[in-house]
Amino acid sequence: TDRLLQKSEKLALLGQMAAGIAHEIRNPLTSIKGFIQLLKSNDLKEEYFDIIFSELERINSIVGEFLVLAKPSASIFVEQDVKVLIKDVVTLINTQSILNNVQIFVEFDSDLPMVSCERNQLKQVFLNLLKNSIEAMPKGGSIDVKVKEKEEGKISIQIIDQGVGIPKERIPTLGEPFYTTKEKGTGLGLMTCFKIIESHNGKLTIQSKLNEGTTIEIILPTITQSLLKMDRVR
């Protein structure tokens, strides 16, 4: 019965998510429909085109975020050095950070233990978090990424920004889908991060102060810790 209950809970959650997605996608679709009708009868074509284009982009990013979550069925966990993943992601986001006057500093413990992870998913987490930090500093600034062995069997990854911060009362609700303060946001990035870190038996915590900045910490079990856990399950 335990498993059945879990399954019905999952289905209920899925239903809620589906309703949320349908709603979020219907808004831009309605807007696209309206502007296409206007295009037919009006000479403000270029402006309408821009709106249609950005609404399509919005639908695309909503669907894209959900695809990341839909993938775990095919996920492969491998032994990985987080250092390498973080360096890859920092390179990937380099142009965006330069354009926004943001510098990213990365600091590693030497001799970091390996973790067991789904590479692309973990990269997605770092990408979403770094993006949020960049977007939180409209006037530029710096982001510190610190990776260390927190205690035996645990790796800590901190992403520290000097951005706008998050109101105290909002912090406990972060990770709920579709909460965004951005005009072009989807409000799905953090939810995706929470889900992925959870599926890695890790933990994601958020500390923030308005107008001072935000620190996100991810704790991941090291590979030996993950193997021990698997042993116990068996």
Residue in 73, 94, 75 with CA at minimum distance from that of residue 143: 94
Does the protein bind Mg ion through residue 214 (CB under 5 A)? no
3-state helix, strand, coil in the chain (%, to 5): 55, 20, 20
DSSP string, 39-78: HHH-S-HHHHHHHHHHHHHHHHHHHHHHHHHHGGGG---E
Residue in 163, 158, 161 with CA at minimum distance from that of residue 107: 158
Stretch that binds Mg ion, among 7-15, 25-33, 151-159, 186-194 (CB under 5 A): 186-194
Stretch that binds Mg ion, among 31-39, 41-49, 125-133, 160-168 (CB under 5 A): 125-133
Residue in 128, 111, 115, 120 with CA at minimum distance from that of residue 194: 128
Handedness of CA 181, 69, 154, 111 (dihedral sign): negative
> How do 141-151 and 102-108 pair as beta strands?
parallel
- Residue 185 CB, shortest distance to ligand ADP, in Å, is 3
Q: Which two tokens stand for residue 140?
A: 């530029």
Q: Which is nearer to ligand ADP, 159 or 220 (CB)?
A: 159
3-state secondary structure of 147: strand
Residues that bind ligand ADP (CB under 6 A): 128, 132-133, 136, 161, 163-166, 174, 179-182, 185-190, 214
> Which one of ligand ADP, Mg ion, none is in contact with 180 (Cβ closer than 5 to 8 A by kind)?
ligand ADP
Stretch that binds Mg ion, among 30-38, 80-88, 132-140, 167-175 (CB under 5 A): 132-140
| Number of residues this chain uses to bind Mg ion (CB under 5 A) | 2
- Residue 19 CB, shortest distance to Mg ion, in Å, is 22
Q: Which is nearer to ligand ADP, 82 or 193 (CB)?
A: 193
Stretch that binds Mg ion, among 37-45, 128-136, 151-159, 162-170 (CB under 5 A): 128-136
Q: Which is nearer to ligand ADP, 41 or 211 (CB)?
A: 211
Does the protein bind Mg ion through residue 189 (CB under 5 A)? yes
Question: CA 31, CA 28: separation in Å to the nearest integer?
Answer: 5
Q: Which is nearer to ligand ADP, 32 or 216 (CB)?
A: 216
